[in-house]
Structure 1
């Protein structure tokens, strides 16, 4: 790492989320719902959350064509994210049309064929990665969709042992298999293999119960968490909606963190906010390598996890991916 304070580098996709406006079903039969276009995508959400918490964060993303691209850049920059790692791309921006269940959980419809996010090259990544990177966070669709996923995996292999590596599978079943997945070159076996390659190199893994279910590992989440830390990571976070979050470390039992009770508007971006909250905490603590992570006590880890779940909970009190600022987090922590 070059001289200077270490930064968090987040690598992944930019997505425009089309969110429904509650009660705004226009037309005489209510068949023309209104949508609001909001910036989204795992990487953008995580970078924005970290930026609002005051972390020095760079977002590495391929910015596709179309009128919404400039909004994505402005959204990141307005939250304190360094966007010098944006690569202008000829392919279109990814689009997700979202429906919301009664509990605020999202149902996604994706329009991503030939999108910019999956086209990373080794040369692009070598150009945009900051020299001061202390933590690199990868995951979601771009990490398991070719051809860009191979370039991302090679970057992670090159960085392994020099920086702290964080991985979030963030499976989207529609894009990982079936007709839409096949159009992207994805199937269950291929996606699993790409994720296995990353997880073996990761220091931190944040994975949801939904991800594990798709991977065929539903059921005993404690056992799965213990098994995953034998695959390479030094720390595994398993989220399960409003149920307690599991934390597993090699040689230790599974720790649990209760999720704060809040009035949920929707859960879009909750997992991304949680990952950003935890990585920001690690960066604040000077943890930018595996030895430093392994040296943290369980109590200190759980202090960072406690902040991370509060960041995610506050995000859920607002429409779409809208994580809190550092001041809002501090106020919420004081009010508990």
Structure 2
């Protein structure tokens, strides 16, 4: 049963990635100018949670290279607790982004041998935090070896005292889709919350409708499934009871980090209302709709600025770029 009375802290476990974008204003026939922005799904989620006001702890393996310093600076400036993260000798993960005319990003990854995937059992044991009401993970850190299997084992231990949230964030260019499909039943058995995009759903459950996919994953053990649908909002399914939550209108600059911001908004809202801290048996569909409505606003504000730059709950300015103030929603 979820805790009540105190929102508690959330731990996020996963990778940091340097998102590399072309700076077209500076590029020309003599050279391509690139801009590196700190990213990575789990890191983006941790930043968004902290900016929303949730006490947030990030478990990551930071390279000693220039990008590792960039990651630490961004997370720290957003108020994320990094005391349990690891300094690593391996290089950082890089993702070169190609934006289309609608702001959608496709990535080419440079990730072999990177620091993010080298978790050891000892490092994860040292990072255990029984005070967190939720452990969120997913993306490449959950599936790339040698660390992925160890992260799975860590989830089983964390589940004894915390709500478990997973975002598969499927990257088929780096990990073959059959690998995700083989592991997904184990993730569903561990997860209380599964948040994924409609693109993820198409890869993980090819040929199935969203409803059929949700029912399969409910049967595997996950009570709450949220499928984000871009500008069409989100489909929520709680034990098979479903609803569509609309997305607010927004002038899109790009969609980088939108799904991660949605996840952060969802977990923040549930934590603030005392709904996290163990199994979510007492969660209602109305609770989920409320949390996803808030999450959709957070994602929309992220789409209104360049890069994975989620909003702050208080204060309109950022140390990296600028982002709008988050509007207050009713309790």
TM-score by length of 2: 0.90
1:264 and 2:252 correspond: yes
Name 2:233's counterpart in structure 1.
244
* Mapping 1:1-336, distance limit 5 Å: 6-27=8-29, 32-177=31-176, 188-218=177-207, 220-252=209-241, 254-291=242-279, 293-327=280-314, 331-333=326-328
| In 1: Cα distance, 2:231 partner to 2:208 partner | 16
Structure 1: stretches of 5+ with no match in the other structure: 178-187
- Deviation, 1:256, is 0.5
Which has a greater percent of strand?
1
- 2:45 partner SS: helix
- Deviation, 1:25, is 2.8
- 1:238 partner SS: strand
* Cα offsets for 1:219-246 (capped at 9, x unmatched): 5223322332222111000012212310
Decide whether the 8 Å contact of 2:169 with 2:200 is kept in 1: yes
Q: How many residues align structurally?
A: 318
- Deviation, 1:326, is 0.9
- Deviation, 1:218, is 4.8
Decide whether the 8 Å contact of 2:188 with 2:220 is kept in 1: yes
- Deviation, 1:64, is 1.3
RMSD, aligned α-carbons: 2.1
| In 2: Cα distance, 1:322 partner to 1:43 partner | 14
TM-score by length of 1: 0.89
Structure 2: stretches of 5+ with no match in the other structure: 317-323
- Deviation, 1:272, is 0.6
- Runs of 4 or more, structure 1, over 4 Å off, are 328-331
| In 2: Cα distance, 1:146 partner to 1:270 partner | 26
- 2:219 partner SS: coil
Decide whether the 8 Å contact of 2:42 with 2:137 is kept in 1: yes
Q: Greater CA deviation, 136-145 or 121-130?
A: 121-130
| In 2: Cα distance, 1:156 partner to 1:331 partner | 32
Q: Relative to 1, partners in 2 of residues 1:159 and 1:313: Cα closer, same or farther, differing over 3 Å?
A: same
